[in-house]
């Protein structure tokens, strides 16, 4: 290590990779897929116990109500798990928000439920495969260890923080978005514990945004042979709109019409269809262009095909652009990495996370402070085990230096 004060060195010395690895392994064996409410409840209780090592108030929050469009076009509420928050020194003049998620992409019936050493073993460490190890139960271990190091330092009293561990990040954080915005308000900076963008530790910089929409087409049925002219074909209208939406794709905006649901028997003009579509704008200007184009197309398709069109959805993840304050936070993380002997870089990515939502609140955020690993969202997901303590030291040093400076 380089250029660390004795107080920083002392605080960082309490970080224990073996403890972090054991904790992460235990959590990874809890299936906490976004729709597995029982598994999420079990994970929330495990996290409540784990975060009790910090001097804060721990609360489990019920999820906000979320509606979704069913295949038949009806609107139904979707259940989500509770979200955990921890508040430490809310009166402090400098305050951070740290976020992570307890849910994974692996459903309760997933075949990927076990841990396997891909390189090395339990004694020497190495590369461990398993569900949620990198994304992001390892990241939660990093967060806790970093904050324990802060609390062991003489700088802790200078800084307060709120922690949010939500249960629905992998499905877009619909039931926690308002809670994210509430906790982010007025914060000096934010750290989110998604895994590094690359296994070498490269961080994600700017991120594109994401919007998911379900567009409902309500036409009129008729006999396909006797009186087709009396029908209003919802499938044809949905297909027409899908083609025109895809044509909006350009540099800075990807549009993916993903699925059309509906239809009827071959001899019936279909009176119902739903088009599912995802937008990926790289800037707020492109998001506005996409929204305006979508609104215009809805009106045009309804008129051209003489049927009703209703749109459900939103841009749940606004694009995250790097402004001056975000640049300062990245540079601080880079300097802390250098002082720990780490070469920290970053790159833009098309992926999205809660960092997008935090940045939309005007708070600078580095959202890949978690472990090094890879192949996330697949049965090949892996964790580079020695990155647990490595990234905990990086976070702890970053937080301590914000505390020492009284900001960025």
Mean pLDDT of the chain: 97
pLDDT number for residue 3: 85
Q: What share of the chain is helix, strand, coil (3-state, %, to 5)?
A: 35, 30, 35
| CB contact at 8 A, 354 and 195 | no
* Fold for the domain defined by 6-207+320-405: Aminopeptidase (3.40.630)
pLDDT number for residue 407: 97
CB neighbours of 202 closer than 8 A, spacing ≥ 6?
A: 196, 344, 345, 346, 347
**H or E element, residue 279:** strand 272-281
Residue-wise pLDDT for 57-68, tens only, equals 999 999 999 999
pTM for the model stands at 0.95
Residue-wise pLDDT for 109-128, tens only, equals 999 999 999 999 999 999 99
Whole-angstrom distance, CA of residue 258 vs CA of residue 242: 9
Asked whether the predicted pLDDT for residue 2 surpasses 80, the reply is no
Residue-wise pLDDT for 24-57, tens only, equals 999 999 999 999 999 999 999 999 999 999 999 9
Residue-wise pLDDT for 357-380, tens only, equals 999 999 999 999 999 999 999 999
Residue-wise pLDDT for 266-287, tens only, equals 999 999 999 999 999 999 999 9
The beta-strand segments (E) located in 124-188 are 125-129, 159-166
| CB contact at 8 A, 134 and 198 | no
CB neighbours of 10 closer than 8 A, spacing ≥ 6?
A: 152, 153
CB neighbours of 201 closer than 8 A, spacing ≥ 6?
A: 342, 343, 344, 372, 387, 390, 391
Asked whether the predicted pLDDT for residue 1 surpasses 80, the reply is no
Instruction: Copy the structure tokens of residue 207.
Output: 């991120």
* Fold for the domain defined by 210-317: Alpha-Beta Plaits (3.30.70)
Same fold, 6-207+320-405 and 210-317: no
Per cent of the chain over pLDDT 70 is 100
Q: Where are the domains of the chain?
A: 6-207+320-405, 210-317
Residue-wise pLDDT for 184-239, tens only, equals 999 999 999 999 999 999 999 999 999 999 999 999 999 999 999 999 999 999 99
The sign of the dihedral angle between the CA atoms of 58, 64, 68, 70 is positive
């Amino acid at each position: 290590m380089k250029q660390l004060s004795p107080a920083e060195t002392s605080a960082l010395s309490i970080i224990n990779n073996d403890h972090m690895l054991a904790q992460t392994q235990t959590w990874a064996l809890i299936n906490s897929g976004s729709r597995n409410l029982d598994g999420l409840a079990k994970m929330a209780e495990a996290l409540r116990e784990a975060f009790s090592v910090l001097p804060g108030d721990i609360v489990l929050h019920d999820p906000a109500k979320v509606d979704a469009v069913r295949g038949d076009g009806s609107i139904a509420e979707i259940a989500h798990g509770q979200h955990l928050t921890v508040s430490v020194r809310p009166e402090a003049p400098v305050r951070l928000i740290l976020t992570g998620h307890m849910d994974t992409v692996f459903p309760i019936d997933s075949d990927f439920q076990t841990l396997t050493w891909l390189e090395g073993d339990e004694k020497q460490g190495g590369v461990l495969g398993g569900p949620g190890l990198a994304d992001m139960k390892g990241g939660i271990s990093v967060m806790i260890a970093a904050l324990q190091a802060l609390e062991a330092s003489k700088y802790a009293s200078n800084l307060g923080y709120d922690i949010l561990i939500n249960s629905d990040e992998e499905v877009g954080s619909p039931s926690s978005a308002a809670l994210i915005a509430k906790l982010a308000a007025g914060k000096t900076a934010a750290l989110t514990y998604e895994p590094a963008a690359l296994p070498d530790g490269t961080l994600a910089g700017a991120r594109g945004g994401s919007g998911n929409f379900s567009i409902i087409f309500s036409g009129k049925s008729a006999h396909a042979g006797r009186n087709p002219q009396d029908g209003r074909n919802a499938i044809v209208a949905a297909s027409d709109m899908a083609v025109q939406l895809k044509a909006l794709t350009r540099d800075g905006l990807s549009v993916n019409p993903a699925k059309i649901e509906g239809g009827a028997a071959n001899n019936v003009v279909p009176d119902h269809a739903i088009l599912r579509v995802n937008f990926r704008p790289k800037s707020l200007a492109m998001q506005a262009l996409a929204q305006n184009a979508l609104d215009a197309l809805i009106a045009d398709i309804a008129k051209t095909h003489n049927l009703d069109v209703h749109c459900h959805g939103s841009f749940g993840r606004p694009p995250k652009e790097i402004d001056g304050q975000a640049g300062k936070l990245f540079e601080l993380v880079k300097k802390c990495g250098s002082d720990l002997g780490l070469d920290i870089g970053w790159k833009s990515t098309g992926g999205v996370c809660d960092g997008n939502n935090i940045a939309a609140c005007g708070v600078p955020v580095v959202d890949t402070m978690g472990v090094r690993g890879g192949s996330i969202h697949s049965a090949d997901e892996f964790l580079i085990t020695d990155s647990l303590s490595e990234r905990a030291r990086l976070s702890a040093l970053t937080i301590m230096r914000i505390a020492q400076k009284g900001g960025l």
